[in-house]
Copies of this chain bind each other. A is one copy, B any other.
Amino acid sequence: MKTTIGFIGLGNMGTPIAKNLLAAGYQLQVYNRTLAKIDELGTEGVTRCQSPAEAANSVPFVISMLSDDTVLRESVTGDGGILKTLQPNAVHISMSTISPDTAEELAALHEQAGNRYLASPVFGRPEAADARKLWICISGDEQTKADARPILDCLGQAVIDFGDKTAGANVVKIAGNFMIMASMEMMAEAYTLAEKNGLDRVQVSEFFGSTLFAAPIFQNYGKAIANKQYQPVGFKSKLGYKDARLAFKLSQTSEMPMPTVNTVHNRLLTAVAKGWGEADWVEGVSRGVSEDAGL
């Protein structure tokens, strides 16, 4: 029988990740704020828990995949938090997209408690998580990375080691989500410019997506933007806005002027202000560009 792992957070990303761990033969102690979500995992190998502390009890690894810094911090340090039960030397594999500051703060708390924290944010939408096609970014202590590796290898197409800084992988994740948002913004601007000049925005998108910009981001998001096709919702605008804020804050704390961050931050803030927080972030960006242009 394989190791038992604690698992916290069954959102769009956490659920397929948990299913893949079960498929790989791991036993899971699962906590989710909405307990009914746990039923989706079935009963085989699953123990339902009432708190993060219960999920983290007596396991060598606990994985968290939560929506933001605040929820993660509460899950670690709160009354029912991971730190209440996590055993000595156990590893908290932290997959959420959070600020490097929070990662460093939590890593220090884990160290004080005699256990370990590993930054492991991922790239990929829910379909990619489901198909074990995630790119998993890690950084920090060598032994901790080596210990977590067999678990991470079950979940993605590659695990990339960004060195020994505790929060290095978080910086990469924020930089990447910034680049995705900036790409959506530039495509929406360019294709709407084409539309306003009487061109077929789908043809223009297909041209760039098959030549200079022949990459997944420009093909998949490009198709949605060109066709103004924003269903199904894969990643909400309000979460995109959260990531834009992380990038904005990191540019400030790093003393790194990033005019393009200002643009995408304002775009997602506007989307949320207009009431599109639950819409896909592609809609948040693309519809905003079109509305600004009077379309």
Contact = CB atoms under 8 A, between A and B. Distances in A.
Contact of A123 (B160, B176, B182, B212): B212
Determine chain A's interface SS by DSSP, over half rule. helix
A212 B216 contact: yes
B172 A199 contact: yes
A96 to B, nearest CB: 18
Given A123-B211, A186-B179, A212-B176, A257 B292 contact: yes
Q: Point out which of A135, A186, A250 has the most chain B C-beta atoms below 10 A from its C-beta.
A: A186
A204 interface: yes
What class of interface size applies to chain A in its complex with B?
A: 35 or more
B186 A183 contact: yes
Contacts of A179: 186-187, 190, 208, 212-213
Nearest to A204: B172
A209 B213 CA distance: 11
Contacts of A208: 176, 179
Contact of A135 (B168, B211, B289): B211
B207 A217 contact: no
Interface string A58-74: 00000000000000000
Given A165-B198, A186-B182, A260 B261 contact: no
Contacts of A187: 179
A284 to B, nearest CB: 15
A6 B88 CA distance: 80
A213 B215 contact: yes
Contact of A258 (B193, B251, B258): B193
A175 B204 contact: yes
A197 interface: yes
A254 interface: yes
A6 to B, nearest CB: 29
A142 interface: no
Contact of A255 (B203, B212, B293): B293
Contacts of A256: 189, 192-193, 196, 293
A163 interface: yes
Given A175-B191, A197-B254, 6 more contacts: A137-B207, A165-B199, A172-B194, A189-B260, A189-B261, A213-B217
Sort A-B residue pairs by CB-CB distance and give the 9 closest, nearest first.
Answer: A215-B215, A175-B190, A182-B186, A189-B258, A171-B197, A196-B254, A259-B263, A257-B292, A214-B215
Interface of A: 100, 123, 135, 137, 158, 160, 162-163, 165, 167-168, 171-172, 174-176, 178-180, 182-183, 185-187, 189-194, 196-200, 203-204, 207-208, 211-218, 250-251, 254-261, 263, 266-267, 289, 292-294
